Chain A
Amino acid sequence: MKPAVVIGYGNPLRQDDAIGRRAAELLKSCEAEIICCHQLTPELAAALAGAPLAIFLDAAVDQHPGQVLSRRVSPCHSDLTSHHLAPEQLLDLARLLNGDAPPAYLITGGVDRTGIGDTLTPAAERCAARMADVALDLLSIEKFASHMRPPELGYSR
C-alpha cells in the first residue's frame, strides 16, 4: 500500500519561508513519502495518486510568528492567477487526473523573517519541530485508522 505523502514547500533562499521544508525533513524517518520543493506544481499530482493521506507544510506570514495551525483542505477549483498552486488546487488537479484525491491537511507555521538568507531563525527551527510533531500525530492517526479498515478485497478470501 502506498504510504502517506508529506510535502514541505518554500524558498530555501528566503530565510523562514523554508520552514515547511525543514519540518518535512524532520519527518524523513517516518513511513511516509517526504517531498521537499520550492512550490506546489502540477507534477506533484502524480505523487498523490493512491495516497491514503496528504500533508502540506508551509510558512504563513499572516499568522503569529511561531504559531502552528492545522486545517483540513479539500479539492477546490479556484481562480488560477499565480505562478504556483495552492494545496486545494493541487488536490483538485489530482482528483481530475487520478479520479480521486486523498484526505489532506495543511499545517502552517507563522513566520516574519523572509528576507534573503539560507538558514532558518532559531524561532523558526523550533516552530518547524512543532509542525513536524503535528504532522506526526496525523500520520499516526492515519496509520491506526488504516489498520481498523476492512481489507479492500473483502473477507471472502
Chain B
Amino acid sequence: MPTRNIVIDPVTRIEGHAKITIELAEDGQIADARFHVTQFRGFEKLCEGRPFYEMPSLMARICGICPVSHLIASSKACDAILAVSIPPNAARLRRILNLAQILQSHALSVFYLSSPDLLLGMEAAPERRNLFGVAATEPEVARDGIRLRQIGQQIIETLGGKKIHPAWVVPGGVSAPLGAEKRDQILALLPDATAALDRTLDRFRRVFQSFPEEMSTFANFPSLFLGLTDGAGKLEFYDGPLRIVGSDGEVVASHLQPADYPNYLGEIAEDDSFLKSAYYLPHGYPDGIYRVGPLARLNLVMSCGTPRADHELGALRAMAGTPLLSSFHYHQARLIEMFHCVERMEELLNAPDILSPHVRAQAEPNAEEGIGIAEAPRGTLLHHYKVDRNGLITWANLIIATGQNNLALNRGVKQVATYFVRDGKLSDGALNRVEAVVRAFDPCLSCSTHAIGAMPMEIELRGPEGALLDRRQRA
C-alpha cells in the first residue's frame, strides 16, 4: 500500500507537458511509478465535420516538431479515401520529406534534449544541464547538433516551402514536382551532414560507454517491438507491412497490414493520463507491451540498407547484443538512423525519375474509410478516418508513437526509480535520471517543446495525511 508520493511536475526537456508520480511504500521502497500526460488536445473530435482533404494540413498542426509525420500519415489515409495509388515519384518525394524530418527531430532529441545529460553528466548542476551548458563545454558538439537540425529543416523548407507545417503533401501525392535547382541545393547540404555525424558518432561512442548503470536500468526489460519493414529486412519509414519481434529476436508477427490494425492493436485509456496506451491484442493488456521508434526499428531489421548506418549498427550490436532491450540505446539508434536518413536521401535524390512532373493522382472520394501509416521519428504513426458520402469526416482515430510506448515508459520510470531513488531520498541526480529515461523515448506529447530545458520544477513529498515531508524546488 503506497503511503507517500513523489511528484515530478513538469518533466523537463521533453516535447509537451507531463508529470511523474513515484509512490513510496511504508519501508521507503518504490511501490509504483507513473508517467502522466497532463494536456488534452482533442484533434480526433475537433476534425469531425471537416472535409477530408483538409485533414493533412489540419492534422499537421498537432505538432511543431513532427508535423511532417502527421502530414504524411494523414495524406496516406486520404489516398485510401480517394482509392488511388499515388505516382511513384510522389511517394519518393514524400519519403525524402519524411527522412529530412527524422533527421531534424532526432537532432533535437539527441543534442538539445539529451546531450546535456550525456555530455555534462546526470549529476551536473540543473542550471547547466541544457543546450547552453553543452555549448559552453563542448561547442563543436553543440554546433554540429544545431547544424544537423538546421539541415533537416532546410530540406523540409526547400521541398515543402516552410520549415514547420508545410502544406506540400496532399491527398493523392504532393502539390508540386521537384526542380533540378532545388534537388541540387538539397544534395549540396548532405556532405555537411555526414561530416557532422562522423564527428558526433566519434564523440558519443566514448560517451555512451560511461553510462553502464543507465544502460542496465533505463527501461531494460523484455518487450515486443513493432514497426514498418520493407519486406526484405531493411529499414523502412514510409510504407510496407508491420512486423513484430519479441525480446529474443524471433518474429512474432509479420506482414501485418496497417488497414487491419484493429485486429491486432488494442488501446486503453487510464484514469491518470490523457495519453492512451496501445498493446498487442493477442497478448492482452498489459502483457502485450511493445516499443516503437528507433530502438524497435533497429530490432526489426537485418540491416539498415545503407553502408554507414550499417557499419554503426554492426558496432552497436557487437557492443550491446541483439535485440537491444535497454531503452538507453534509443540514443545510439537515433544517431544511426540519422546516418541512414542522409544516405537514403542522397539515393532518392539521385534516382532517375526524381524530377518527374507526375506527382499527384486526382480523384473524388471513392471509399468511406481510410487508414494511413508512416514511421515518425518516435515510431509508428497511424491515422484512421471515416467520411460520409460528401467526404466530411465523421470519425477519426490517431495512434501515435508515444502512446504505443506508454506501457514501456511507465515500466521504465518505475525501474529507474526503484534503482536510483533509495529510502525515499530525493537526490537531484536520481530525479534527473527518472526524467532522463523518459527523454530516452523522446516522447512527443504535443506541439510544445521545452528544447532549452530547465523549466521550473517543484517536487513535494507528502505523508498519508497530506503533511509535507520534503520539498525540492528548481527555479
Contacts and interface: CB of A to CB of B under 8 A. Distances in A.
Interface string B441-475: 00000001111111110000000000000000001
A82 B135 CA distance: 18
A89 B136 CA distance: 13
Contacts of B112: 42
Chain A interface size range? 10 to 19
Contacts of B164: 38
A96 B452 contact: no
Contacts of A85: 452
Interface in B117-163: 130-132, 135-136, 139, 142-143, 146-147, 149-150, 153
A93 B454 contact: no
Contact of A97 (B130, B139, B149, B453): B139
A93 B475 CA distance: 21
Given A93-B132, A97-B143, A83 B150 contact: no
A80 B139 contact: no
A89 B341 CA distance: 31
Contacts, number: 50
A89 B130 CA distance: 13
A58 B447 CA distance: 23
A85 B130 CA distance: 13
A79 interface: yes
Chain B interface size range? 20 to 34
A43 B150 contact: yes
B130 A96 contact: no
Contact of A80 (B132, B147, B149): B132
Contact of A81 (B136, B149, B448, B456): B456
A82 B452 contact: yes
A79 B132 contact: no
Contacts of A46: 143, 146-147, 150
A96 B456 contact: no
Nearest to A92: B132
Contacts of B146: 42-43, 45-46, 97
Interface string A27-51: 0000000000010011101100000
Interface of A: 38, 41-43, 45-46, 77, 79-83, 85, 89, 92-93, 96-97
28 contacts: A38-B164, A42-B131, A42-B146, A42-B451, A42-B452, A43-B146, A43-B149, A45-B146, A46-B146, A79-B475, A80-B454, A81-B454, A81-B455, A81-B456, A82-B452, A83-B448, A83-B449, A89-B132, A92-B132, A93-B131, A93-B132, A96-B132, A96-B135, A96-B136, A96-B142, A97-B139, A97-B143, A97-B146
Closest 10 A/B residue pairs (Cβ): A96-B135, A80-B452, A43-B150, A80-B454, A97-B143, A96-B136, A97-B139, A97-B135, A42-B146, A43-B146
